[in-house]
Each structure stands twice: as C-alpha cells, then as structure tokens.
Amino acid sequence: MAIPLRVDFLVMGAGVAGLRAAVELARHGEVLVVTKESLGESNTHYAQGGIAVATEGASDVRLHLEDTVNAGDGLVYRPAAEVLVREGPERVAELMEWGAAFDREGGRLLRTREGAHSLARILHANGDATGAEISRSLVAFARGQKRIQFAEWTMVAGLVVVDGRVAGADLAGAGPLATDPGPHRVGARSVLIASGGAGQVYSDTTNPAVATGDGIALALDAGAALADMEFYQFHPTALALAGAPRFLISEALRGEGAYLRNDRGERFMERYHPLLELAPRDVVARAIAREGMGARSGEGKAGETGTSEARPVLLDLRHVRNIDLHRRFPGISAFLGEYGLDLERDPIPIGPAAHYLMGGIRTDLDGRTTLPGLYAAGEAACTGVHGANRLASNSLLEGLVFGARAALAMLNDGLPLLPGAGPAAALRPMAKEDDSLADIFIHHLQKAMWVNAGLLRHESTLREGLVAQAECEANLERFVEQGKTSRSLLEGRALSRVAQAILHSALARAESRGAHFRNDYPQRDDRNFLRHSVVGSGVGDESITFEGW
C-alpha cells in the first residue's frame, strides 16, 4: 500500500490515545495512523495493572478526583483531573462496547486497589494483561474503519511547518517491513502526536524499545512548548535480577497484599509513609532506593542518585492466601518462572525503573499545543492532569479521555489543507558500523541519565548529565551533517533532546516535589515552585520558565 500524499488527519502513534482519536476522526475524514513498529506495539500494550475508573456514581468520581489530586503533590491541574474522572466512565463503557473484555466474576466486574487509591477501582483484563486487551480491542475496531489507513514500521522524521502552522509531516521507513520506505511528505489539515513516552532515555526502564520520545522531540524542534519534563515517574517494583530485563512487577501485587522487605527481612515502609506498601509511587520508589543503598546506617551520600541497590529489596507474597496468585497474575508468573522464581514460594528481587513521563508537550484540555495545527494526547502530552506524580492506573484512562477530546478539537477547529514546502529530503542510509557507533553514543547517554538524573538528584549530578548529553548530541550531529540517517539516529537525537529538557527542568526546579527529588533541596517549596515548568525553544537554563496553567 502506498502512503497517501494528503490526508485530512495524521496521527503519530498507535497506542490507546492515538487509536481512540483515529476512530473519532475517521467519522469525518481520511486518517493516516503512523506507527514505528507493528500496529499495537506501544506502551499501552505492556500496561499490566489495569485502568482506574469510577463506575459507582458521583461519590466514586469525587473520591477518584481527590486521590488523583493528592497523588500529584500539589501540582495537579484540577480542571484536567475533573475531566479525566468525569468522562472516564463513558469512555471505558464505550471501550467495552467495542469489544474490550475486563475480568469478571459471576458477571460482575472485578476491581483491585493500587497505591494511593482510597478504594478498589482498578479494572483489569486477563489478570495482568490489561494494556494488551485494550490494545487488541482498539486495533480490531480501528481496522474496521474504512477511512483509517495505517503506515506500519514508519517513523515521523519531521513536522512540516508552513506560515507558523503544522501542515503535515515527513515520513521514513523504520524497518524492512515498512508500509512504504519513503521518504514521503504527507500534507494534513492537522497532526496529532500520540507517540507515548520516553522511558528509553534511561538505561533502566520498564518501557519497550519504541519509547524514545520521538513525538516530544519533534514538537519541541517545530516550536511547540513542553512542560513538567523534570517529573519522570520511576515504578517502584521492576525485576532486579542479573541477566533478566527490568520486567514490570505490577503494583497490583501490592494491592493484593504483597509486602516489601529489606535484606534483613524487615518490612520498612512504615518508616516512610502511613500507607505502607500502598503509598504513592514516588514515595515507595525512593524508599526502596534508600533501603538498597544503606538508608538504615546512613551510608547514602548526599549526591548519590540511589538508583543502584547495593542490598537486595524484596517483594514478598508468601503470606497471601486468599487468592490464586498464578491465576490472578498469569503473565508475571510465567515470566518469573523462566528465571526459576515463583510468586507463592519466593521473595522477588525488585528495584525502581523509569516508567512514565508526567510531563510532555504542553496542551490545553482539548489537546491543542502552543503551535497551531499540532495536537497531542496521552503520555506524549502534558495537560497537568498528573501533576508531579501520576496516580497508579490513570494512564490508560488518560489516553482514552484526552485522545477523544483531541480528535474533537481537531474536527471543531476545521483547519484547511495547506500546500507543503517541497518534497521530503532524501537521506542516505547509515552504514552498519555507523549505526553501531550511534548505538554506543545512545547507551552512554542512557547510563548517564540513570546515574545523574534518576530518583535522587543533585545540582552536581545534573550538570554531569548535561555534559554527557552534549557529547551524545555532538556525536550524533556529525552523521546528520553528512546527510545520513537511520532509525537509531532519529531515536538517538530524540532521546538527546528529551534528556536535555529533563536535565534543565530538573536544575531549574530547586525543590523536591513528587517524582522529582533534589538531595540539595530536599523540601517542597510552594512559595517559589507551586507552578509548572515550561520549556521553550532553544533548551537551556535560561529557557525554563515557571507558569500557572
């Protein structure tokens, strides 16, 4: 299938936000969905725990709102949270009508509880494969819409800006299975970025390989503002086993009663928060990091990041007797079984890993960015709905709610097609040795970000991170100057831009709040920082401002 030269709407990303938007847009025009790998390969697919939704009436909605606001550590934009919890039940009901099958017992939807939730409101599917089920149902429904075309294994290499407005995008193949290798310039009335987060900016992450922040970097380069980039959520419980990937061990296990224990077998969360294992994610992640680096004896140094555990920290379910853990968590059980571990028999070694970006492309409540013609939704966007720390299982709901709202805004704005500014530039593929070298530069950046801009930060470590970021960018730019390109190069440049925004935003926020903790500024400072950081063009210390929403 050839990629069209013009469409009404171009959607970058095939996760929950992108597909929900595409379905809405297809009712009124021709839609092209561009996805870097096969359809459905996204952060959405790998979400385990579930989707938070208040289905028990007005009081349930109010409680969900307050839980969301409280988890965000003072920085949640309340109108955004109100939209999320109010419109969430309708979006989830709609999803079930389209074929999503959540777990039931006797016809009744099963719900579980996760950290910082006041009650059990998390719907789940196939035990611990909620994202995969939501992705499956949305992909199937979207494929049934005749006005949606898909460009798989295809990357957006650049946004086309004409007279100060986004008017299309340049596409390039991202693998041998590309729909059409390109390069192509596709004109569109408007473009939606729903390309997910950027967990791959860190060496330790629960995110899949596709999560390289491409859309966020493209928006910044085109002139759109970013916001709250310092707030990266580190999931407290990723598998920490030599030779194994940082596989996500769902928060739902703690919702079902799992304990956290240090190397002495002690439950330690009582020293950090009254909600113990069900405290907000930022609190639990820092507690695990501190236990691992010697918090009891005061061995942690002032400038340490605390992201490399010297001591084991364990997730223990051996006392849980009221549920069949293998049936409740079949995916996690099967994965652990490959490494000789059993949820019912063995304490599981865990540690924090980069999981979710609360910041992203700054938008209003309808997905409009600061650049006309460009919209964003899902993890790539920042409405302020998560504040400084996302409430568990609000992410899939965010994609559904704000994906639909962004599509309606694109329709209501009714922008016309504009002529493009010439054809897309043809670039030379990089040789294998150049691609391998680019990968090395990227790996150095990822490790530097983990060490210098992880859970526990300090001005000195953040400055070291900027040195590593500048070196990576300079090395990658040499290939660009030679007219070369590859998927690795495009992803590496995106990661470098995202890293730069995170580092400068973290330096500018001289306080600790939510997922952002500064050892040199350990207290929350509402007087100076009860505002959102905004990244303008030309990222640097001087380009970060703090604004109300």
Residues serving a catalytic function are 281
The answer to whether 398 touches 194, Cβ cutoff 8 Å, is no
Whole-angstrom distance, CA of residue 39 vs CA of residue 244: 26
Dump the DSSP string for 163-232: TTEEEEEEEEE-STT-SS---EEEEEEEEEE-----GGGSSSBSS-TT-S-HHHHHHHHHT--EE-TT-E
> Measured at the alpha carbon of residue 230, what is the angle toward residues 225 and 231, in degrees to the nearest 5?
105
Residues 6+ apart with CB under 8 A from 474: none
Please identify which residue in the block is written with the tokens 């900027």.
466
Whole-angstrom distance, CA of residue 368 vs CA of residue 444: 35
Whole-angstrom distance, CA of residue 202 vs CA of residue 285: 16
3 state SS of 232: strand
Torsion over CA: 484, 488, 493, 496 (sign)? negative
Please identify which residue in the block is written with the tokens 């500014």.
421
- Report the Cα–Cα distance between both ends of the chain, in Å, rounded: 43
* β-bridge pairing 381-382 and 360-362: parallel
The answer to whether 384 touches 227, Cβ cutoff 8 Å, is yes
The answer to whether 438 touches 430, Cβ cutoff 8 Å, is yes
Q: Which two tokens stand for residue 382?
A: 């920042």
